[in-house]
């Protein structure tokens, strides 16, 4: 990972280890970029995996998993 003078992170996805035990290749960049408020993952299903007809790369952004689950107050 490199950081630009403006503070942008550049993560070389080939250097990020895939998450084990997933149905397709998944690389999480959240830890590499040291971000806490967003989850960033790159998925790479091969043909036949996850109903993919061709190989693909999909960048997914979302909220990170948290362990502070509780019911909302009404």
Query: Average pLDDT for consecutive 10-residue bins of the chain (74 residues)?
Result: 79 85 83 74 81 82 71 71
Two tokens at 64? 């990170």
As a whole number of angstroms, the distance between CA 35 and CA 9 comes to 10
Residue 3, Cβ density class (10 Å: 0-12 exposed, 13-18 middle, ≥19 buried): exposed
Confirm whether pTM is higher than 0.75. Answer: no
């Amino acid at each position: 990972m490199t950081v630009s003078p403006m503070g942008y992170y550049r993560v070389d996805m080939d250097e990020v280890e895939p998450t084990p035990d997933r149905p397709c290749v998944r690389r999480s960049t959240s830890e590499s970029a040291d971000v806490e408020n967003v989850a960033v993952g790159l998925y790479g299903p091969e043909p036949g995996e996850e109903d993919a007809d061709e190989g693909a790369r999909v960048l997914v952004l979302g909220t990170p998993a948290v362990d502070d689950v509780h019911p909302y107050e009404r």
